Amino acid sequence: MNHTTVESKSAHTATQRSTSQQFANLAAFGLAIGAALTLAASPAAAQSMDKEKCFGVAAKGKNDCAAGAGTTCAGTSKMDHQTNSWSFVPKGTCEKTMSSTSPTGFGQMAAFKAMKG
């Protein structure tokens, strides 16, 4: 085998390794993007397993989503403890979470009318 052939085979092997590494990197990147998109597409489903919607407990502009007129979704509540906006809270804690607008003084499992003050 002459010197040129050895160099050619060595360069070919290096190119194959480089291509294989690029493919592996691309595959890993693709999996990471796929996982991120899956989580982004269903955050409510992922959160709902150990959390519950709680109305009337979010600070102004800090709600996770809403129900009713005046709000659309995340971050759109116009006042603290808005009665038709909700936030996720750990399961079992909603009706123990303080709400200055609720008739009971605590979060509610559904939208409600504010108590008169």
Closest CA to 81 of 103, 65, 98: 98
- Domain co-membership, 21 together with 56: no
> Which amino acid belongs to residue 46?
A
Range of the domain at 37: 3-41
- Domain co-membership, 104 together with 59: yes
Instruction: Name the more confident of 61 and 37.
Output: 61
Confidence class for position 33, pLDDT limits 50, 70, 90: low
- Domain co-membership, 110 together with 59: yes
Confidence class for position 74, pLDDT limits 50, 70, 90: confident
- Domain co-membership, 79 together with 33: no
Residue 53 above 90 pLDDT? Answer: yes
SS3 label, residue 102:
coil
- Domain co-membership, 63 together with 86: yes
- Domain co-membership, 91 together with 114: yes
- Domain co-membership, 60 together with 78: yes
- Domain co-membership, 64 together with 109: yes
- Domain co-membership, 110 together with 73: yes
> Which amino acid belongs to residue 62?
K
Report pLDDT for 45.
55
Report pLDDT for 41.
46
Report pLDDT for 9.
57
- Domain co-membership, 90 together with 65: yes
Instruction: Name the more confident of 5 and 84.
Output: 84
Average pLDDT over residues 48-75: 84
Angle at 92 between CA 91 and CA 96, to 5 degrees: 125
Split into its structural domains, the chain has a count of: 2
Average pLDDT over residues 31-56: 64
pTM: 0.57
